[in-house]
């Protein structure tokens, strides 16, 4: 089991080394970072987060508005004498 793990870790290290240098290791093109890939990944994550926020706003807008008005009422009501 230790030999298998050591072999896998060595293979990963070898691939990472060759990909960084642009070496001719088979399958290295799939592991190499292309220009703009980080930007695209960031924009995709941002789109997912924005989409989830929009869905939550549509699904729970009544509860969100109720909570906001409750807070406003508590703030306004805190200044009135009893």
Whether the pTM exceeds 0.85: the reply is: no
Note the pLDDT of residue 64. Answer: 92
Backbone angles phi, psi at 22, to 5 degrees: 75, 30
Residue 25 CB contacts under 8 Å (≥ 6 apart), including other chains? 14, 15, 18, 19
Question: Within 13 A of 77's CA, how many CA atoms are on the CB side?
Answer: 7
Q: What is the mean pLDDT of residues 11-24?
A: 63
Note the pLDDT of residue 44. Answer: 97
Three-state SS at 50: helix
Q: What is the mean pLDDT of residues 27-32?
A: 61
CB 15 within 8 A of CB 22: no
Determine the Cα–Cα distance for residues 3 and 51; give it in Å rounded to an integer: 46
């Amino acid at each position: 089991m230790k030999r298998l793990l050591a072999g896998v870790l060595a293979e990963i290290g070898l691939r990472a080394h060759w990909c960084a240098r642009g070496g001719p290791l088979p399958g290295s093109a799939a592991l190499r970072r292309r220009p703009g890939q980080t930007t695209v990944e960031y924009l995709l994550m941002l789109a997912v987060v924005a989409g989830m926020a929009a869905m939550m706003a549509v699904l729970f807008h009544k509860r969100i508005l109720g909570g906001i008005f409750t807070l406003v009422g508590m703030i306004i009501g805190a200044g009135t004498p009893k």
